[in-house]
Amino acid sequence: MATRAAQKRLTREYKSISENPPPYITAHPSESNILEWHYIITGPENTPYFGGQYWGTLIFPANYPFAPPAIRMHTPSGRFQPSSRLCLSISDFHPRSFNPAWEVSTILIGLLSFMTSEEMTTGSVSATEAERKFHAARSKWWNSTGGGSHLKVGGPAGKGNIKAGDGGAKFKTEWPEVDQENWKWIREGKIDPATGAKADAGGPSCRPQLGIAAGSGHQAHAVVDAVIQQRAAGQGWLFNNKLVLVGGVVFLYVLIARLLGEGS
């Protein structure tokens, strides 16, 4: 339970960060526990995280601001191990280095700054730019589905340790409006809720065949014509010129008949 000083301090900080949120950052305390804060960092431009939606928690000690919070980022990012405590100078790994003058906004700005660097620490991981962009593109899906586990929800995730498996329940509880926007994005983008992959909007591909150019409004007729052409090509000269041959035979017959008639 928070001390009176921590309660007062965090209430004031919530008012401050709500009225003047830092760029790319939004945060609020849980309704059930003012010591449990939830944040979302939006990936900044000109970074591999651009457009990503990175959700995490700050778990404050009861004697805050005289001790720092535990910091976690739950959304896979390619920068941090999901839901692992991060060793930062502003986290509970280094209580002696924490300055009581630092606020929630200071902590989250520091986290964002560290995220966009390449410095390594406990809880951080190495990844390529492509991998981080991949995670950014899937972050909204991951947050609202629990990594696709909404289809088979088990038990609730442990306190402060939200992993793929809770079906997105915790995210929905803390960010109901954002969760609705995410599901709208999933539907409109034809994202498979089970895998996070973009579904094929047009179903099985129907590519042009038999050398027919795409874009014709009469593909069925073109297919028939092409089949006829291919069939004709296989029949040889005799088949293609049968009318000429028949005409020639008739002409010869008439000619011979006249000659015989004149001779008789």
Q: Which of 87, 164, 169, 222 is catalytic?
A: 87
User: Coil, strand, or helix at residue 87?
Assistant: coil
Distance of alpha carbon 92 from alpha carbon 222, whole angstroms: 71
Read out DSSP for 155-195?
SPPBTTB--TTSTTHHHHHH-HHHHHHHHHHHHHTTB-TTT
The question of whether 87 is a catalytic residue gets the answer yes
Distances (CA, A) of 165 to 57, 71, 72, 113, 143: 17, 20, 17, 29, 11
The C-alpha torsion from 119 through 43 and 113 to 88, rounded to 10°, is -60
Distance of alpha carbon 13 from alpha carbon 100, whole angstroms: 13
Query: Would you please indicate which residues are annotated as catalytic (active-site) residues?
Result: 87
